[in-house]
Amino acid sequence: MADVVDIPEFRAFYYTDDTPRQFYTLRRYEDESGSGKMHCYNIAPGIQLSFNDLNLSSCYQPLNVQKDFLEINYCLEGGHEVEMVGGGITFLGEKDLSISGLYHDKRVIVNSRIPFNKYKGITILLELETAQTTLDNEFSKWHIDLQKIRTTLCPEGRVLLIKSKQKIDHIFAEILSVENQIRLPYYWLKILEILLLLSQLDNSYVEPPQQFTEKVSRRTQQVYQYIIENPFTQKNISEIAEIYGVSESSMKRCFKSISGASLGTFMKRKRMEAAAELLRSEPTLSVGEIASLAGYENQGKFSGAFKSVYEMTPIAYRLNTRDLNGLRLDLNSYRRIYDLVLS
């Protein structure tokens, strides 16, 4: 691996309290809302890859960078929202890819937040000048132009979003699954693959991110939390919008941006997940009683809805989980016997 240029902007990015490791730097952050960490790998001069695990409300720190950067973010779990100059809010959800720039002469992002205190993702950060020199020296025949990628996909400093695409999801899945012995050169190859893919895109391929006012974003996040805490709610979407003081159409669009699913689909999924928990944990409750708790007067309709989520009927699900629980008990008994024999 070529010598790595230590770029001060990388070391300052998001975190302090660096802890060096053999192959990476572990960066931690902690405040009253929670904590987070980043495993940062310097892949080549001007090119860094990091794995981010954040359980806090925000990790935003205003940066006055001296150079220009291209930033690529891929969300694995949770979500991350960015407030742009002008007040619009863009949300990065699960399996979304965002492409943005950091500029030495202007700010385009004024704040960022983690709405549900949970974000896991991968960041590729490229300092344009140094990274371009690296690419030109090592891969001149590939014609990867970082400035062109940023200009094409991020005109006027916008953050652009690519919703889940099989090709992109596959690359990041491979980044996560590589064996430790070959991870550094493998990360390098995957970054090149991503850059080659982005080089072939134009604006027609990319969905302009939906932007929402802070009020709509906040109220929709409250709706999200309400559904999580009240999966058997009998309130319909119109009633929920009225309770939270937001228009139904804006709430629906914002909710899909946040969760990756329509509001109706999300409510159904959470209702069935709660019903599945009762099927597992409350053997004295009949399927009909659970159907009633879930808001279904007709057990047949409940079974159909449950099967559409779990691909089996509630009765089959209960029998399967009962068998698995029995197997777990048997295994635990064998473990206890094994421990006694060894003691």
Q: What is the CA radius of gyration of the chain?
A: 24
CA atoms within 13 A on the CB side of 41: 20
User: Mapping DSSP to helix (H, G, I), strand (E, B) and coil, where does residue 116 land?
Assistant: coil
In the numeric block, which tokens belong to residue 156?
């006027």
- 314-342 and 263-281 helices, crossing angle to 10°: 50
The two three-digit tokens of residue 211, written as one number: 């932007």
Name beta bridge partners: 160: 99
Q: How far apart are CA 317 and CA 326, in angstroms?
A: 14
The tally of CA atoms less than 13 A away on the side-chain side of residue 60 is 15
Q: Which residue has the tokens 């099967």?
A: 307
Residue owning tokens 């079974």: 303
Give the integer Cα–Cα distance in Å for 176 and 190: 11
Task: Determine contact, residues 254/115, Cβ cutoff 8 Å.
Answer: no
Q: Distance between CA atoms of 330 and 339, rounded to whole angstroms?
A: 14
Tens of pLDDT, residues 67-102:
889 999 999 888 887 777 766 677 787 788 888 887
Closest among 64, 70, 111, 66 to 90, alpha carbons compared = 111
Going by C-beta distance under 8 Å and a sequence separation of 6 or more, which residues neighbour residue 11? Answer: 18, 25
Kindly give the confidence (pLDDT) of every residue in the chain, 343 residues in length, as a single tens digit, with 9 standing for 90 and above. 333 334 444 444 433 444 445 567 888 888 888 888 888 999 999 999 999 999 888 766 666 677 889 999 999 888 887 777 766 677 787 788 888 887 766 776 767 788 778 889 999 999 999 999 999 998 888 889 999 998 888 877 777 778 767 788 889 999 998 888 898 999 999 999 999 999 988 766 555 556 677 788 888 888 988 998 899 999 999 999 999 999 999 999 888 877 767 899 989 999 999 999 999 989 899 999 999 999 999 999 999 999 999 999 999 999 887 755 544 434 344 334 334 333 3
Which residues have a Cβ under 8 Å from the Cβ of 186 and sit 6 or more positions away?
A: 174, 175, 178
Q: What is the pLDDT of residue 105?
A: 65
Interior angle at CA 222, CA 221 and CA 223, nearest 5: 90
Q: Let me know: does 285 contact 291? Beta carbons within 8 Å.
A: no
Q: Which of these, 260, 262, 261, 274, lies nearest to 305 by C-alpha position?
A: 274
Q: For the chain, what are the domain ranges?
A: 8-199, 213-260, 273-343
Instruction: Write the CA distances from 191 to 124, 235, 304, 309, integer angstroms.
Output: 8, 46, 44, 36
Q: Which CATH superfamily hosts domain 8-199? A: Jelly Rolls (2.60.120.10)
Written as six digits, the tokens of 252 are: 């629906």
Look at residues 238, 212, 257 and name the one whose alpha carbon lies nearest to residue 94.
257
| Burial grade of 152 (CB within 10 A; 0-12, 13-18, 19 or more) | middle
Could you give the dihedral angle defined by the CA atoms of residues 276, 282, 288 and 293, in that order, rounded to the nearest 10 degrees? Answer: -70
Return the pLDDT at 207: 56
- How far is residue 73's CA from residue 99's CA, in Å, rounded to a whole number? 7
Q: Outline where the chain has alpha helix (H).
A: 8-12, 128-138, 146-153, 166-177, 183-199, 214-229, 237-244, 248-259, 263-281, 287-293, 299-310, 314-342
